[in-house]
Amino acid sequence: MSFERKLGVMLSRPIAYLFFMIYLIQSSVLIYFVYQYYDNQQTIFYQQKTISELEEKLKVLDIINDFQVGFDQKEVGALANVIHQESKKYGYDPRLLLAVILTESSMRKGQVSDSGAHGLMQMRPFVAKGVAMRNGLEYTGELSLFDPAYSVQLGSLYLFELILKFGDVKKALVAYNVGETRLRNRLITGEKLPQQYLRKVMERYKELCEKYPHG
């Protein structure tokens, strides 16, 4: 091998090594910036999600403050939290759950109906007990239904059970009002479903959507 070729080989190895190191550094820098970009995007996503949830919770709080009767501010705050929480758990628009509450009890504290339904979501004790037992929740008697958070927790769960059973939100709302057995009997006999309660809930829901639109 000539001197020139040997020199060329000797020079080419360090140069190749240098280019390889430059390539590694560039690749590392690129990976770092890509990682930083996606990390920033993820941070932005979670920040936007948090802001959106806060705005939604504030909207629920506004609705409760505008309609509630008899609750103090601590109870209002707890009620807003549980309505927002249960709505997210079951995929409700919180305004639909609020429309049910307004239709059932006018959001008045300590409501008892002529048929013996208790609390914000007007559940009869035997129904509430059944829902609690099926789902491993504690039930300490009818007085527990006057706890607004517990009433919403059980009521929203019961409504979700009915949606799963009947495969339809409107039928579930009718069943919530007249009872599951009566609705099934009407469906079997082909009788027209009662519309008064459903119409009230949907009118309330429409009013809330118009007055408190999504941001």
- For the chain, domain boundaries: 57-211
For residues 112-139, average pLDDT: 95
Ramachandran angles phi, psi of 115, nearest 5°: -90, 5
Is residue 64 within 8 A of residue 80, CB to CB? The reply is yes
Question: Which of 25-39, 90-104, 124-138 is predicted with the least confidence, judged by mean pLDDT?
Answer: 25-39
For residues 114-128, average pLDDT: 95
**At 115, which amino acid appears?**
S
pTM: 0.78
> According to the model, what pLDDT value does residue 214 have?
78
> According to the model, what pLDDT value does residue 54 have?
78
> According to the model, what pLDDT value does residue 53 have?
76
For residues 146-164, average pLDDT: 96
CATH topology of domain 57-211: Lysozyme (1.10.530)
Q: Decide if pLDDT at 36 tops 70.
A: no
